[in-house]
Amino acid sequence: MKELNLQKILTESVNENTHDLDLKTTNEILTLINQEDSKISQAVKEQIPTIGKIVDQIFIKFQNNGRLIYLGAGSSGRIGVLDASEMLPTYGVADKFFGYIAGGDLALRIPIEGAEDSEELAVQDLKNINLTSNDTVIGIGASGRTPYVIGALKYAKSINAFSVGLCMTTDSEFRKYSDGVIEVNSGPEVVTGSTRMKSGTATKMVLNMISTTLMIKSGKVYDNLMIDVKATNEKLVARCIKIVNELTQTSDNEKTLAILKEADMDCKFASIMITNQVSYQEAQLLFEKNHKSLRGLI
C-alpha cells in the first residue's frame, strides 16, 4: 500500500484559527465555523476563469449529445450524485447528468471500506454506461489524489472523453490525468481533515455553477425562470403556475393551470399558448420554427 504524506495535502493541514475547539462554548464553535465558511466564496471566485473555459468545453460536448458524469468517493461522490439527481426535477433533463460514488449506491448511506482506493472500480463504472468521446467526466476529490477518481480520469482521457479534475488543493495529482483541473484552495478545515465541511461546501458551489450555467446555455432558463421544471408534486405545480403567470403577465391561476394541463404541464408551451392564443400543437410548431427558443414568442 502506498504510504501517504498527509503534510503535503492542503485539506489535511491544521487550521491555526480553530485550536482548543473542545474548550469553546456552543456559540463560539458556531461562529468559528461560520467565519471559515465565509472564505469559500472568494476561493471559488478565483477559479471562475478556469471554470468558464471548462463549462464552454462541456457545452460543446453537450451539443454533440454528450453527457456529464460526476465521480467521487465519500462526501465528494455524494455531492456529485446530489447535483446530478436534481437536474430532472429542476430542468427536465434525465439523460445528460449522472453521478457515481465509489462503492455504488449503498455508499451514499454507508461507507464502503476501500472502495475509494480502487482505480479499477471507476473504470468499470464508466464502461457500464458506455462512456464515449462525446462525454465529460468530472472526477471530484478534495485531496486531489483519490485513486478511484484518478482511475476515472485516466480512462476518460484514454478514449478522448473530456476529463476534468475538481479538488480543494493546489498542484494536485489530478493535473497529470486531466484535460482541465479546477483547484479551489478552500484552506484547512475547522476540524482537521473533515473535508465534508469547507471542501464539501466549495464542491457544491462549483457543481452548482457548472450545471446551472450549462442549463442556461442549453435554453432551460428564460430570463431567470426555470421553464422546463417538472411538476412532480404540489409545490412544483404551484411553481409552474407562477412561472407561466410571470412569463405571460397574467394572474388567473385557474386558467393558467387549465392551459398547463393542456400543454402536458410544460411551462414553455403553456406560455406560448396564452401569449399567442394558439393550441398546444400550434405552440409546439411555433417553438420548433423559432429554433426552440422562447425569445420573440412571448
Contact 102/169 with Cβ under 8 angstroms?
no
User: Of 16, 36, 46, 86, which one is the catalytic site residue?
Assistant: 86
Residue 285: how many CB atoms within 10 A of its CB? 12
Say whether 116 is catalytic.
yes
Contact 206/47 with Cβ under 8 angstroms?
yes
How many secondary structure helices (H) and strands (E) does the chain include? 12, 7
User: Of 12, 36, 116, 173, which one is the catalytic site residue?
Assistant: 116
What is the distance between the alpha carbons of residues 272 and 247, in angstroms, rounded to a whole number?
9
| Cα angle, residue 146 at apex, residues 21 and 82 outer, rounded to 5° | 75
Looking at the chain, list the stretches that DSSP marks H as alpha helix, in order from N- to C-terminal side. Answer: 26-37, 40-45, 48-63, 74-85, 87-91, 119-128, 147-158, 198-217, 234-248, 253-262, 267-276, 280-289
What is the distance between the alpha carbons of residues 90 and 215, in angstroms, rounded to a whole number?
10
DSSP state for residue 118 in the 8-state scheme = -
Residue 258: how many CB atoms within 10 A of its CB? 12
DSSP state for residue 4 in the 8-state scheme = P
Tell me the CB-side half-sphere exposure of residue 195, using CA atoms within 13 A: 27
Catalytic residues: 86, 116
